[in-house]
Structure 1
Amino acid sequence: MFYYITRIFSDHFMKWVVFWPQSIPYQSLGPLGPFTQYLVDHHQTLMHNGYWLAWLIHVGESLYAMVLCKYKGITNGRTRLLWFIQTFLFGIASLSILIAYRPKHKKKT
């Protein structure tokens, strides 16, 4: 649970830093304030590109989740869609669960 809350907070904070840096109250962020101010002042292009790269990686992970669903025999369309959405939102944390999933094979009689 802590991971998910941290993840959601950091995603929103990154979006705020990249797109609206002038509205951030740096002095109110404690030790995070000066560091964030430094990144905004000296590495804005890198942060902007990193933001979009992270989105691209999440799309790639989500598409890979679809491939894994097919490989592991998950054929229900709703289930596959939910894996796609979950992996898009939570990245490798979600994908690792799908990777670790070992379906039980049915014996042929």
Structure 2
Amino acid sequence: MVVAKSEASRDATAYFRSARLWPALITVLGLGYFAWAVFWPESIPYQSLGPLGSFTQYLADHHQTLLRNGYWLAWLVHAGESLYAMVLCKSKGITSPQARLLWFLQTFLFGVASLSILIAYRPKRQKRT
């Protein structure tokens, strides 16, 4: 099938790929557990979680400020990654507002699981005639 140059360039300007399932799931579960430890530490079944539970209980009991600040720092890092995703979109020629919004939101939620896909993307160079 022959694709016109305008269609080929339009595809490159709207490039978007979903994050891989396992890295995205690990990120969501990690941030969810982090939030649980920060906001509802009394409801965590520490004994059922083995070494992770013991470590979390120690942090919750002795370093609540560090835990809370670390949680907000993690979200700040995700916000920074999202802004960097916008810079990458511009440098890689992704100009579609919908694609850019999807990259921003996906990177904010899944962090490096999304950003690594965008970093690895190599758009085809258009030959000028």
User: Which TM-score tier does this pair reach, normalised by the shorter chain?
Assistant: over 0.9
Following superposition of structure 1 onto structure 2, how do residues 14-29 of structure 1 map, counting pairs within 5 Å? Answer: 14-29=34-49
Structure with the bigger RCO (C-alpha within 8 Å, sep 6+) is 2
**Is 1:98–2:128 an aligned residue pair?**
no
Q: Deviations over 1:9-44 (max 9, x none)?
A: 111110000011111121222232211111111111
Q: Which of structures 1 and 2 has the bigger CA Rg?
A: 2
Pick the aligned partner of 2:65 from 45, 51, 55: 45
RMSD across aligned C-alpha pairs, in angstroms?
1.2
User: Identity over aligned residues, as a percent?
Assistant: 70
From 27, 30, 35, give the equivalent of 2:55: 35
| Aligned match of 1:74 | 94
Secondary structure (helix, strand or coil) at the match of 2:127 reads: coil
Secondary structure at the aligned position of 2:50 is classed as coil
Residue identity in the other structure for 2:27: R
Query: AA paired with 1:81?
Result: L
Q: Runs of at least 4 residues of structure 1 off by over 4 A?
A: none
Using structure 2 for the length normalisation, give the TM-score.
0.79
Please list every run of 5 or more consecutive structure 2 residues that lacks an aligned counterpart in the other structure.
1-20
Separation (CA, whole Å) in 1 of partners of 2:22 and 2:119:
22
For 1:39-84, what per-residue CA distance to the aligned partner results, in whole angstroms no more than 9, with x for missing partners?
1111111110000011111111101111110111101000000000
